[in-house]
Structure 1
Amino acid sequence: MRLDGDLRYVALGDSQTEGLGDGDEESGYRGWADRLAERLAATGARVDYANLAVRGRLAEQVRTEQLEDALELRPDVATVFAGVNDLIRPGYDAGAVVGHLETMFAELTGVGARVATLTFPDIARIAPLARPLVPRVLDFNARVREAAERHGVAVADTALHEVATDRRLWRGDRLHCSPEGHERIAGAVAHALGIPGSDDSWADPLPPLPAPGVLRTVAAEVRWLGSFLGPWVVRRVRGRSSGDGRTAKRPAPLPVVLCGEGS
């Protein structure tokens, strides 16, 4: 990927692209898209970066709420990452969900953007109680790869690498990445895009951890049920979303300033 002159990067997606898990409500969220923007700027290019992602959004909402704005910004680089909020719901329609993603792929590449997306890792290795969803994840990944190939979209295929399911890369809710996880995703996308200086070191395994005992594993599952799955189900029953009333954190392209630059 050549980086000559000015560059505009626009990120579309849900909570993962917004950066949840990498920061907090007080200090703000960083996330893999911010980190990718910094990697682009580190090549010496002037990078203007917009992040249109909003937590809780379904793939259709990302398309209807974010795509038009993204196209108006005429990005040189764009990332599209959505679908997990659809995949974990009872009424999941794989064809419709990936269809929304493919529409975004087609529209963004159609205005000349270099586009990248991601696959999902093995959800059962992150949240064992989610094992019934594994066939959905495998099918989703296959469909995304096919759609991406049709439109020349780069795929950061995290699903193929064991490190993607290391629990140290995930927050306690098992849905959002930790800062280390966001850093790894940024590395994966940078490598998929061919950004100068990037490589496949993002996939290197972390030092091994001792295997947890049965009681500790059961206790962790019970905590997850109470602290995450239970509240999530309550929100669904009430028709609410974690993104209700929220807007994009960086709706307009702003220059990326690396540490040590500017004031």
Structure 2
Amino acid sequence: MSGLEDLRYVALGDSQTEGLGDGDGSAGLRGWADRLAEQLAAHHPGTRYANLAVRGRTAGQVREGQLAPALELRPGLATVVAGMNDLLRPRFDADEVAGHLEAMYAALTARGARVATLTFPDLARITPLARPLAPRVGALNDRIRLAARRHGVTVVETSHHRVVTDPRLWSPDRLHAGPLGHERIAAAVAHALELPGSDDSWTRPLPGPSAAVPAGLRAAAGELRWAASFLGPWLARRVLGRSSGDGRSAKRPELLPVRLRGTSP
């Protein structure tokens, strides 16, 4: 991606791309896409960046609400990360979800954009209650790879590396990356895009021992607390037909210059 002085980067997706888990509503969310934009701007000073992601969106909703605005922005680079909200729903069709993703890959690449996407980690390594979802994750990842291959999309294979399920990379809700997790995702995408200075260090284990995994009654109690605090409210919204993204819009709908951390406004 060298020589692109006026790079347009547009991020499409859900809460992970919006940046949940990396900052808060008062201080502002950062997230891996913001972090990647900063890395791009460090090498391409004319970089402009838009983030169309909205929490709670399914792949179909991302396609419906974000693809057309993204195409209007004429990106040179686009990231498309969606499907987690589909994976968690009772009704899940891997072919349907992958179809929405492929439609976005096709439309963006046809307009000349370079597109990058991610595979998903094994959720059972993050929370044992998610073990039944493992076949869904595998099926969707396989289809993402096939669709990406057909359209020349760069796939960031986060699913291949055990470090991505280290609890220290995740926020307490176990559904969103924490600051260190967002940092690693940004590094992974930068490496896949072969940005100057990037390498595979994001795949390496974190220094020091991970927190000990509780067993027996302690583990069960921990899972129940997590279910009551995070899973229960999520399921309640589903039953009521609500979403965490209701009434929300993209945090950065226009292409704007990227201010590097540590520089003056």
TM-score relative to the length of structure 1: 0.97
Instruction: Give yes or no for contact 2:13–2:53 (8 Å, CA) kept in 1.
Output: yes
Alpha-carbon spacing, 1:49–1:240, altered in 2? closer, same or farther (3 Å): same
Contact 2:8–2:76 (CA under 8 A) maintained in structure 1: yes
Paired letter, 2:52? L
Question: Per the alignment, in what secondary structure is the counterpart of residue 222 of structure 2?
Answer: helix
The 3-state SS of whatever aligns with 1:121 is coil
8 Å Cα contact 1:3/1:45 also seen in 2: no
Contact map agreement 2:168 2:210 (CA 8 A) in 1: no
Q: SS at the partner of 2:229?
A: helix
Matched, 1:226 2:228: yes
* Runs (5+) with no aligned partner, structure 2: none
Check conservation: 2:32, 2:185, Cα contact below 8 A.
yes
Deviations 1:215-253 (A, max 9, x none): 432222111110011111111111100000000000001
Moved over 6 A (4+): none
Give the Å deviation of 1:13.
0.2
- Give the AA of the match of 1:169: L
1:260 Cα deviation after fit: 3.7
1:45 Cα deviation from its structure 2 partner: 3.0
Deviations 1:106-161 (A, max 9, x none): 11011111100000001100011110110010111011011111111001100000
1:243 aligns with 2:245: yes
TM-score (norm. length: structure 2): 0.97
AA at the equivalent of 2:248: R
Alpha-carbon contact 2:76-2:114 (below 8 Å) kept: yes
Matches of 1:120 and 1:128 in 2, distance apart?
Answer: 16
Alignment-derived partner of residue 124 in structure 1 = 124
Query: What is the identity, as a one-letter code, of the residue corresponding to 1:154?
Result: T
Match of 1:199 in 2: 199
CA contact (8 A) 1:3 1:43 kept: no
What is the deviation of 1:210? 5.0
Cα separation, partners in 2 of 1:254 and 1:210, compared to 1, 3 Å: closer
Structure 1, unaligned stretches of length 5 or more?
none
Q: Percent identity?
A: 67
